[in-house]
Amino acid sequence: MTQPALADASAPTRAALPRDLAMFLPLFAIALHKVSVYPPGHPLLVAAVDAAAGHLRIVLMTRANLLLGVARQQLLLEGLATDEGNPVLRELAQRLHRHQVGGIKFIPGVTPQELGDLLQLLGSDPRTNPVGPRLGEFDERWQTIRLLAPAWDRIEMAQDGTTRTGDTSGLGQGAAARLWLGLAAAALTREGAPELIADPQSIARALNNIRGDGDKAKKVVSFLLSLSRELRLAQGAEAAALSEKLNALLNHLTPDTLRELATLGADLQQRRRLVADAAMVLPAGAVLQLLRAVSEAGEQALPHAMVRMLTKLAQQSERGSIAIREEADHALREGVRQLVERWNLKDPNPAAYTRVLDRLARNPNIPVPSGASHATEAIRLVQIACETDTVGDAVWSALTELVNEGRASEVVALVEHASVAEDIRENFWLHLATPENMRILLANEPRDTAVVELLLERMGMAAAEPMLESLEVADNRTMRRRLLTRLGKLGPAIGPMLVERIPGSPWYVQRNLLALLGSLDEIPAEFDPAAYLKAEDSRVRREALKLMMRIPEMRDDAVIAAVGDDDDANLRLGLQAALERCPSAAAGRVRHVLSDPQLQLELRLLAIRVLGTIRTPVTRDWLVSQSLTAPSWFRRRKLVPKTPVLLTMIQALARNFATDPGAQAVLRLAAESADPQVRRAAAGQGDEA
């Protein structure tokens, strides 16, 4: 079954990706970007591939495989679609789509060499050498990676002109149909078998043959929950047909399989929801079968009298007389609903410990009493988890509490202890290295600086958004400098994010973002820094000028604009650049600058040196006229009194107009001068280089 085609990228809502996937995808995108920038074996490329391979290994620790579907603007995985507004992931999806790749399947055991080979393949130009038409060549190339073709046979054109997944299974196009397809994809391991998608018996057989796979059980239960909830709210022929299929599926599952799904794949709250929703849409027999399996899995014992009563109600609702069927059916469903609402899991823990777990498991958005005792309980719970290799929701709630209270460094010290198992350590880092935690830690700096650096190493591009947000509100120069340094370490991949944030930002944010762009090895091709030459703040204009001077086709315009700027620092920037190569169009502006009597001496000398490099008669005549006294009827012209300005003008004439007849009058007078500094200037020597 070609699974990438199962996801619907046009779904109106989008759930958040699991943390491990949200961290892996940007690293994969960055590594693919660097393939097109650096040659094979370059240290930066090797580091990027190793980072992506390391996080892929973490992703596959809890999965039998990872299937990455490709849409035009999005990536599709585990029933979810990435955000089209994320420029990094959007560009990755577009590149894969241009290569005509429908999906990539990763199996545990992917090595950095295999991943690097895949990235080199995808890094080729899709316009001249697309991968899609040659997919058959790569079937045996890797043991743990498979490239899948696009499912063009399952794409149809919608009325609004957009493309969407076609309905090849006869299930319809509603949300419930998509959830059924997701359930089938989670259960069936065989690819390329679309005839099995709509067959509940085939799906049931696949589930009966898969035992002991907790991850698959969780995925199946998740789809069952979503499907039963959708069917409870849906109406019409499509919903009725899918209800029959779900009933057939549950009837063909063995009691052991149902019990295992409920045990491995759901907690108490999920079991309640599953039974309660199923009781509203499934036939009575299926409801009773599901109730028994869930009660056995959760140790919520059902009294025999209750079982007998519910069994009789189920029989009457399906095979009783017409007069009592409806009443028996209603009584069964209402009884099941009330029963599951009153379920409570047996608690083997001491009462005090139960209270701790109950508090830690609450919604972290709900305020709870704070105090030293609560923090002590939370750190103790993390310590127990590290010592016993056991984690869960209570531990993650404790972790959140400790991060909020500024004790993340204590958690890191516990987690990084040599005695902690590697999988437990990685699990902690997956929950710690999140954008939300990064925001909290940045707000706590400098207290949590060391932890921020560790998170940055692990999160990569996932840390960019919270750091950019902090940069916008940072009121401390040291903090801003630290953030800019960290963001710069992310490399050219952060460029598109910076470009999106610059327009409309306050001037100080624009200045920082432009400076950060200037620190990157590559400037995004679509960015035009000239748009910020009209900014009111001179510091914003300065950073824009620096960027333009790095772009060959914009350099001359930048020099001309800088020389005409009313800010001395920007003028100095333009004159220094013009000294290396001055566009002829800037000569008039340089002479205009020199006409300002308030101009600083340093800038005046620099402007004269720039003017001397423009070897035109106009420039020569200006230098000569400024070096000599005004003409008189009674005496010949002579050099003006010695100043640094005169020495610089003589040097400019000696270096650039030494053989020009029009400059000889000044050079001869300077060479005959009794002042040694003037004579040195006439020889083109002096303090100014």
Distance CA 666, CA 291 (A): 107
More confident residue, 576 or 198: 576
As a whole number of Å, the end-to-end CA separation of the chain is: 73
| Chain position carrying tokens 């699974």 | 3
pLDDT attached to residue 193: 45
Is residue 201 pLDDT above 70, yes or no? yes
Point out the domain boundary residue: 402, 432, 462.
Answer: 432
pLDDT attached to residue 608: 92
Do 186 and 155 fall within a single domain? no
Q: What is the residue range of 205's domain?
A: 175-341
**Residue 586 placed within a domain:** no
What is the token pair recorded at 337?
């609903």
Is residue 9 pLDDT above 80, yes or no? no
**Residue 641 placed within a domain:** yes
Distance CA 301, CA 307 (A): 10
Listed in sequence order, the residues at least 6 apart from 372 whose beta carbon sits closer than 8 Å to its beta carbon are none
pLDDT attached to residue 545: 94
pTM above 0.85, yes or no: no
Point out the domain boundary residue: 401, 432, 463.
Answer: 432
Q: What does the pLDDT look like over 505-561, one tens digit per residue?
A: 888 888 988 988 888 888 888 889 999 998 889 999 999 999 999 999 999 999 999
Lowest mean pLDDT among 4-13, 254-263, 290-299, 317-326: 4-13
Do 194 and 112 fall within a single domain? no
**Residue 331 placed within a domain:** yes
Do 218 and 317 fall within a single domain? yes
Do 20 and 134 fall within a single domain? yes
Lowest mean pLDDT among 271-280, 373-382, 480-489: 271-280
| Chain position carrying tokens 């920038």 | 37
pLDDT attached to residue 179: 64
Do 204 and 282 fall within a single domain? yes
Do 118 and 155 fall within a single domain? yes
**Residue 540 placed within a domain:** no
pLDDT attached to residue 584: 84
Do 154 and 187 fall within a single domain? no
**Residue 463 placed within a domain:** no
- Kindly calculate the radius of gyration of the chain based on its CA atoms and give it in whole angstroms: 36
Point out the domain boundary residue: 432, 465, 482.
Answer: 432
More confident residue, 596 or 314: 596
Report, as an integer, the average pLDDT of 53-79: 84
pLDDT attached to residue 232: 63
User: Which of 576, 545, 550 has the alpha carbon at shortest distance from 562?
Assistant: 545
**Residue 524 placed within a domain:** no
Do 14 and 120 fall within a single domain? yes
Task: Say if CB 1 and CB 182 are below 8 A apart.
Answer: no
More confident residue, 368 or 223: 223
pLDDT attached to residue 112: 93
Is residue 119 pLDDT above 60, yes or no? yes
Distance CA 406, CA 409 (A): 8
More confident residue, 248 or 411: 411
Lowest mean pLDDT among 266-280, 589-603, 637-651, 657-671: 266-280
pLDDT-based confidence at residue 14 (cuts at 50, 70, 90): very low
More confident residue, 352 or 463: 463
pLDDT attached to residue 601: 92
Report, as an integer, the average pLDDT of 415-442: 86
Q: What does the pLDDT look like over 618-650, one tens digit per residue?
A: 989 899 988 888 876 666 788 889 999 999 999
Q: What does the pLDDT look like over 389-410, one tens digit per residue?
A: 888 888 888 888 888 888 888 8
Lowest mean pLDDT among 7-16, 184-193, 269-278, 471-480: 7-16
Q: What does the pLDDT look like over 672-687, one tens digit per residue?
A: 888 999 999 888 886 6
DSSP secondary-structure letter at 173?
S
Q: What does the pLDDT look like over 141-183, one tens digit per residue?
A: 898 998 887 754 443 333 333 334 444 445 555 556 666 676 6
Percent above pLDDT 90 for the chain: 13
pLDDT attached to residue 297: 60
**Residue 541 placed within a domain:** no
Do 80 and 130 fall within a single domain? yes
Total of domains in the chain: 4
More confident residue, 447 or 561: 561
Do 130 and 114 fall within a single domain? yes
More confident residue, 48 or 350: 48
**Residue 531 placed within a domain:** no
Q: What does the pLDDT look like over 293-337, one tens digit per residue?
A: 766 665 555 555 566 677 777 777 666 666 676 777 777 777 776
DSSP secondary-structure letter at 639?
B
Do 154 and 207 fall within a single domain? no
Distance CA 109, CA 53 (A): 10
Is residue 612 pLDDT above 80, yes or no? yes
Do 139 and 193 fall within a single domain? no
